[in-house]
Structure 1
Amino acid sequence: MSQSGIVQGVPSGDCLAVLCLSAGGPPRELLVVIDGVRAPRLGRVDFSAGFSSNDRASADRPWAWLAREWLRTRAIGRRVSFTPSGELPAASTDGAQPPRVFASVMLQPRTAEASSLESALGVDLALALAAAGMVETSGKAPADEVVAAVAAARDAKQGIFADPDAPGALRNVAKPQVGSAMELFTALKGRSVAAQVADIRGGCQLRVVLPQDDHIGLTVALAGVSAPGYRKSQDSGDYLPEPFAKEAKFFLESAIRDRDSTLQLLGADRQNYIGTLTYGGRDVGLQLIKVGLAKYLPWSGARLSLAAQEQYVAAEKAARAQRLRIWSLPEEVAAAAASAAAEAASAVAIANASSVSASLAAGSTSGATPKEVDGKVVEVVSATTLKVADKKTVHLIALSSVRAPNARGADVAWADAGKEFVRKTVIGSRVHATLDYVKEATTVKDSDKVLPRKAFYTVVTSSKKNLAVMLVKKGYATVIPHGRDGDRSPDYDDLLEAESAAKSTRAGVHGKVSAAPELRLNDLSGKGDKNRKGALKQLHSTVTRRAQVLDAVVEYVLAPARLKVRLPKEGVVVVIAIAGIRVPRDTDAEPAILEAALGYTREHLMQRQIKVRLEAFVDASSTLTATVLYEGNKNLGHELVKRGWASVMRRSAREMSEGGEELISAEDAAKAAKAGIWKNYDAEAEAAREAE
């Protein structure tokens, strides 16, 4: 029985991929092998160029590409009718390989108005191929006309019967070396190259051949697009289609398979190249989004021009509003509602967030996920997590697509080194953070532990450098291998390039563990024994005898006038109290004053480089007192006193090596201004008490 369909692919010079439309069901794809003739076999193309080698690539037979191109240019997108003479079952059950049939095939005319009987009936493809010298006879007895045409072509050394050693008989297929993906991308970057889509792998992942560039085979993911695909079932092991996966694949196959298209590469990740494909002047990714068969993928779309990004976003918005295809799914409707609710909750969280001072005093963050944060880094929690204060509050910022070494594992030294690198680079500096993606709260498998909701950002320093890229290049972090459509940093290519450079130089975690810098510090900050007390006394004696001003790093702000500091040259960690002053306790002052004082000290000194001049060792409490200088030559004690957040212990102040009188003058000025704790200060009453 005769059948008909549209040619949507040409695998070889004697085979067509035909889509048979049916009014009673979904379209059915068949591989139709033309009866009675055989074209030279095409070799296999390795589509993992630059990433790996699957060792399945094989050479063509002479003139195989010529025969295939002859048939492709004449049949692709055309209607054919065919009468099957036999059928073989599909090679797989997952839909990847359709059934094969052997048939005589007629290529139908392009228009209904035929000028001759031959064009009205169509073109016998077996005879046309034979006359052009593109096939030889094969299989069951071919028609006499076909036999004669093949004989004539052979005698004339036409087509595939030409000299097999002649130039052009074989494709010059390049085989890029494994690991050369970035080199290949760099060579093709920015060019619009001729391409043919050999296969649609599901979703928006394409296997592409570049005929004018040594027939390189690439696996390309469409930039800015996430389409439904096939997922492996954990139960059966079969690949099952996601909702609308078949429709998306059909759309792509009908539009671009084996068509002359234009590819522009925009990036590369660990497994695929990323780019755009146009056919007939149309952006294929944009068309997928317009018809509701794909979503806009921001991390990948960041590689597109701003104008293209706006088009993609607008197309998704329109498709979502009309609930086209994937947007009609209940889970997508629910996800859209959840996203809107999350944005509203974030706006409320920002509106109700504590002030910067209150947040710093409490050590808390807003819990909001603003799309952009422009502020100052007030704390480095780890190499990949920061606290950033904007004009209103403090936000917790995690770097996108990178992972720092485990601070409790074998790489603890590298974890410390990475944190120290970030501290030196950005603490106290302004940064700009842009939201890339959010991971919702999840429960750890086989555990009751719940991982909180977390927002991931791209952080750009004041010198316009990507902090994550800097970190990876130093070997202090590694790049996270995301899933096929997993959210990731828009600068993922730069991260991979930085990681490759770090590996080549064996930097950081990619080198020897023994090469890790080790901070050998004697921690004297806790409540220890007599040995600790003796060590503190010895430190005080040595330093004060030399009248040294020490370089230090604030590890943590314990209270407005009490700091845990690291003294690198001395190799110790100690707690110091600011000399000559006293900050009221909770029972002595209003909470707002204590909050302001603690917030100020944390904002200006947390993890900062400071200068320390030791003053005294208080034997009773085993405490070192000191003058602390920061941000150039600011005196922390003086700043707390002049704002009315601390009082001066005048006897102690007068015993200080220097700066004591300035503290007393600052307190007198604060009293006169009735600042802070002195708001109810009565100078006359104070004088009367002193007279008694």
Structure 2
Amino acid sequence: MASAVAAQVQSNPASAPQLQRGIVKMVLSGCAVIVRGQPRGGPPPERQINLSNIRAGALARRAVQGQTDTKDTPDEPWAFQAREFLRKKVIGKEVCFTVENKTPQGREYGMVYLGKDTSGENIAESLVTEGLATVRREGIRGNNPEQARLCDLEDQAKAAKKGLWTEGGGAHTVRELKYTIENPRNFVDSLHQKPVNAIIEHVRDGCIVRALLLPDYYLVTVMLSGIKCPTFKRDADGSETPEPFSAEAKFFTESRLLQRDVQIILESCPNQVILGTILHPNGNITELLLKEGFARCVDWSMAVYTQGAEKLRAAERSAKEHKVRIWKDYVAPTANLDQKDRQFVAKVMQVVNADAIVVKLNSGEHKTIHLSSIRPPRLEGEEKNKDKDKRFRPLYDIPYMFEAREFLRKKLIGKKVNVTVDYIRAATSAMETGGVPAFPERTCATVTIGGINIAEALVSKGLATVIRYRQDDDQRSSHYDELLAAEARAIKNGKGLHSKKEVPIHRVADISGETQKAKQFLPFLQRAGRSEAVVEYVFSGSRLKLYMPKETCLITFLLAGIECPRGSRNMPSGMQVAEPYSEEATIFTKELVLQREVEVEVESMDKAGNFIGWLHIEGVNLSVALVDNALSKVHFTAERSSYYKTLLSAEETARQRKEKVTNLKSQLSVAQLTEEKERVAKYRPVYVTEITDGLHFFAQDVETGTKLESLMESMRGEIAAQPLVEGSFTPRRGDFCIAKFGDGEWYRARIEKVESPAKVHVYYIDYGNREILSSTRLAALSPAFSTRTLPPQATEYTFAFIQVPQDEDARTDAVDSVVRDIQNTQCLLNVEYSGIVCPHVTLQFADSKDDVGLGLVKEGLVMVDVRKEKHLQKMVSDKHTLSIWRVL
């Protein structure tokens, strides 16, 4: 069809008129139409056809802006009626036409018929019959039957006094067009978001149109609320550069709305721009544009969209999932997660902060979940600098932090919730945050309970705020619009953080370890009998920190009547080894009472100011529960208690089951309790790929080296078969991608920072090195080669028992020596102990088995880091002796 329209341009006016077909795109006036072909891979060709032998009135025209010598011209009588008659009859319909004449200026004149052949309705004849057009009688040819028939029809219209031939001249048919609105904001508000009948007169791009509002003939520009389509950017020289899919988006809107009867809901008017939603009997164009991948949601205008923002998000999500048009290179934030890791049910064990909780998975694993897209209460401006000398306690000193924590605690603790992971926020290094402590990787999710979105509930009460993102940032809550709406309600109603009232103050006295203060509280707590409390922290199975709401104080509480296994702790003589099952006892107590509301009976206190007594939760005595589960033994001090018989019964039951720590002293000797573990030397081959300036190094396990080689070969083969389009990838911090290294090859990488499109900081996850690249040297990482297929192969280590020199020159010498000796070589590695940043290891040369760290000590390049663990003393002693001799 497109070729049929295009072919007519080459037609010879002198030859017999050739019948052509097309779709009417637009009616310019009562005697001119624009006909287009069928689209094939893009917007189709089009041409203007002027109806032969007739003339209709000219429509109104606005003066050219900025030219004082021009002015507005009104409609000619019956011009708009002629246009409307023709528009309603032919717009969007298939017609056939012949071109009878073509002027030197390129204007084409011909006959237009409804349908596929000339048996259809002759449009010119219909206009003349209704008295909406006049016949050009000059130069009438006697052998032209079409022209003669038009003259007869005109005579009949005159006799019937139709249209132009009615008495009075038709002044009542001239529109009073209004090109401007004095106060557009009041105009929009006055309509109360009621649908207004309109005709779409022009389509600027996919989401901006010019509309004629009826019946008052306001001509206004309307931008579709909630979305943005690719557009045509105007360059300095006045030319326009189309963004990808801008022409297709414009045609999509034109083919459905141009000169159609529609209804428009005018929703807002910020900055003189009218935002609205266009409703057509065949659907909502806003949703259709999103679903077809011609538009993206925008937050700033989404708030005024009245037809349900969730529908727009769902349409955009569908386009992303199918990677349609503008989303052809889209990679979802959770693309690397399995379905079971994206959605799961878990039990809430702890509220860490006003936006973070710890949940227990079905596997028994504990996982920290951050609520997506919200920010907990925090200090702003001058408040940060107040009370510097006072011990700062965020839970009580940050306004509304305590209320937010309490809301989550009462709502969630011990309950099962539904977790939907929205995105994984990459770890932030101290360098990126300007020296601020680094944040580890965060799992951000939407958490619901009983159909209630916890983040939304928190925001609606004014106990958290919503994070604002860059428009292209996809790492956000899947219910982001509901969060924004909840925040707007909280602001309107002055809730919580948005209240103008004085902020709540929590004066909580911490008397933990304060012996004198504890003595003052002791008589009061003893007389009170059972007191309400909230377990704030669990130090061990029998040692807890409690918040007493009535007394507004924090106390350390020891369970009476039992002897619980002790955990490991630092002593002046060295590290005290944990007793068996101490960790299990701590976990048991945490799962049973942490952040729960309990009742306590205070009996006494110890010399350190810790209160001793009994703790009850939902009718369960925690001391009895620990004994019953063989995680503690009855202490002789329980004899004076009314719970003594219950404790003995529980201990006897546990003894009969022969579980865990029952009769611990008779089963294990003192030697067994204090037995030290031996150093484990289990060296494995690794390949050192990178050395850092801080004397850390990255290494790959040799046994997985073939997997990496196979993956890289497959990945590069795919790239060779389907070359990548440069500049099509948009880098975002934390995303995995592939990067083109200096050798011209592609490697897997993670984006650590984006300064500009020309400066993107990447980390090569399989080799450990870093580089700053242009975004043109980056591309999306295919799921087939993601970290799910093969985890990152470069692991960071540092040398055990070694102090990194503080002097820059000395450190550089040590690094140079290590680079010279082990970089890009195979070595043997053994993990000695863990560290804050990475494991501390000993490294041996693969051939000689000589210790690399020991060699650095021998050369006097580093000093020995003395460790206290007994099982490491021999290694430390050997190196320390060498270090001393080197100094001497």
TM range (shorter): 0.5 to 0.7
Q: Which residue, out of 442, 452, 459, partners 1:465?
A: 452
CA RMSD of aligned residues (A): 6.2
For 1:461, the aligned partner's letter is I
Work out the CA distance in 1 between the residues paired with 2:486 and 2:612: 45
Alignment of 1:501-516 (within 5 A): 501-512=489-500, 514-516=501-503
Alignment of 1:491-640 (within 5 A): 491-492=479-480, 494-512=482-500, 514-525=501-512, 532-544=514-526, 546-586=527-567, 593-619=581-607, 621-630=608-617, 632-640=618-626
CA contact (8 A) 1:589 1:677 kept: no
Shift, 1:564, TM fit: 1.7
In the alignment, what sits opposite 1:47? none
SS of equivalent to 1:381: strand
Alignment of 1:422-441 (within 5 A): 422-437=408-423
CA contact (8 A) 1:432 1:460 kept: yes
SS of equivalent to 2:452: coil
Shift, 1:607, TM fit: 1.5
Work out the CA distance in 2 between the residues paired with 1:287 and 1:246: 13
Shift, 1:282, TM fit: 11
Shift, 1:284, TM fit: 8.7
CA contact (8 A) 2:510 2:555 kept: yes
In the alignment, what sits opposite 1:162? 172
Work out the CA distance in 1 between the residues paired with 2:482 and 2:635: 56
In the alignment, what sits opposite 1:252? 253
In the alignment, what sits opposite 1:394? 366
Deviation sequence 1:364-399 (CA, Å, 0-9, x none) = xxxxxx232223221222333322323223343333
In the alignment, what sits opposite 2:132? 132
In the alignment, what sits opposite 2:113? 109
Work out the CA distance in 2 between the residues paired with 1:479 and 1:214: 42
Shift, 1:160, TM fit: 6.5
C-alpha spacing 1:6/1:390, structure 2 compared with 1 (3 Å): same
SS of equivalent to 1:672: helix
In the alignment, what sits opposite 1:343? 337
For 2:651, the aligned partner's letter is E
For 2:652, the aligned partner's letter is D
SS of equivalent to 2:344: strand
Work out the CA distance in 2 between the residues paired with 1:436 and 1:11: 50
Work out the CA distance in 2 between the residues paired with 1:159 and 1:580: 109
Work out the CA distance in 2 between the residues paired with 1:563 and 1:181: 62
Work out the CA distance in 2 between the residues paired with 1:555 and 1:600: 15
Deviation sequence 1:20-71 (CA, Å, 0-9, x none) = 999999767899999995324699xxxxxxxxxxxxxxxx999998676445
For 1:565, the aligned partner's letter is L
Instruction: Give the TM-score normalised by structure 2.
Output: 0.51
For 1:643, the aligned partner's letter is N
For 1:594, the aligned partner's letter is S
CA contact (8 A) 2:399 2:503 kept: yes
Work out the CA distance in 1 between the residues paired with 2:426 and 2:169: 61
In the alignment, what sits opposite 2:401? 415
Work out the CA distance in 1 between the residues paired with 2:62 and 2:357: 55
C-alpha spacing 1:384/1:265, structure 2 compared with 1 (3 Å): farther
CA contact (8 A) 1:644 1:677 kept: yes
For 1:520, the aligned partner's letter is R
Shift, 1:575, TM fit: 1.8
Deviation sequence 1:620-651 (CA, Å, 0-9, x none) = x3322221111x11111111121111223212
Structure 2 unaligned regions, length at least 5 = 1-5, 11-21, 64-73, 135-150, 268-272, 384-396, 569-575, 670-888
Shift, 1:616, TM fit: 1.6
SS of equivalent to 1:677: coil
CA contact (8 A) 1:671 1:681 kept: no
Alignment of 1:199-348 (within 5 A): 219-220=223-224, 229-230=230-231, 241-260=242-261, 303=310, 331-332=329-330, 335=331, 340=335, 342-344=336-338
Q: Which residue, out of 660, 663, 669, partners 1:676?
A: 660
CA contact (8 A) 2:56 2:133 kept: no
Shift, 1:534, TM fit: 1.0
Shift, 1:535, TM fit: 0.8
Work out the CA distance in 2 between the residues paired with 1:610 and 1:257: 68
Deviation sequence 1:146-184 (CA, Å, 0-9, x none) = x99999956636897327799x99999998869979974
C-alpha spacing 1:412/1:155, structure 2 compared with 1 (3 Å): farther
For 1:516, the aligned partner's letter is V
Work out the CA distance in 2 between the residues paired with 1:400 and 1:160: 64
Q: Which residue, out of 84, 89, 92, partners 1:77?
A: 92
SS of equivalent to 2:604: strand
Task: Identify which range, 636-645 or 204-213, moves more after superposition.
Answer: 204-213
Work out the CA distance in 2 between the residues paired with 1:467 and 1:325: 35
Deviation sequence 1:163-222 (CA, Å, 0-9, x none) = 7799x99999998869979974xx78xxxx988666667677888888699999975468
CA contact (8 A) 2:206 2:252 kept: no
For 2:506, the aligned partner's letter is L
For 2:464, the aligned partner's letter is A
Work out the CA distance in 2 between the residues paired with 1:454 and 1:239: 43
In the alignment, what sits opposite 2:377? 405
For 1:535, the aligned partner's letter is K
CA contact (8 A) 2:249 2:289 kept: no
Shift, 1:482, TM fit: 5.5
C-alpha spacing 1:17/1:626, structure 2 compared with 1 (3 Å): farther
Structure with greater Cα Rg: 2
1:38 paired with 2:58, answer yes
C-alpha spacing 1:442/1:234, structure 2 compared with 1 (3 Å): farther
How many positions carry a matched residue from both structures? 579
Work out the CA distance in 1 between the residues paired with 2:183 and 2:78: 17
CA contact (8 A) 1:210 1:217 kept: no
1:384 paired with 2:352, answer no
CA contact (8 A) 2:224 2:286 kept: no
In the alignment, what sits opposite 1:646? 632
Work out the CA distance in 2 between the residues paired with 1:129 and 1:403: 70
Work out the CA distance in 1 between the residues paired with 2:130 and 2:628: 99
C-alpha spacing 1:16/1:155, structure 2 compared with 1 (3 Å): closer
C-alpha spacing 1:477/1:32, structure 2 compared with 1 (3 Å): farther
Work out the CA distance in 1 between the residues paired with 2:645 and 2:468: 60
Deviation sequence 1:550-597 (CA, Å, 0-9, x none) = 211122222222212211211211221212323212469988833332
SS of equivalent to 1:577: strand
Alignment of 1:8-27 (within 5 A): 8=25
Work out the CA distance in 2 between the residues paired with 1:396 and 1:289: 35
C-alpha spacing 1:16/1:371, structure 2 compared with 1 (3 Å): farther
Work out the CA distance in 2 between the residues paired with 1:438 and 1:129: 69
CA contact (8 A) 2:458 2:464 kept: yes
In the alignment, what sits opposite 2:386? none
Work out the CA distance in 1 between the residues paired with 2:549 and 2:215: 61
Shift, 1:8, TM fit: 3.6
C-alpha spacing 1:674/1:179, structure 2 compared with 1 (3 Å): farther
CA contact (8 A) 2:345 2:419 kept: yes
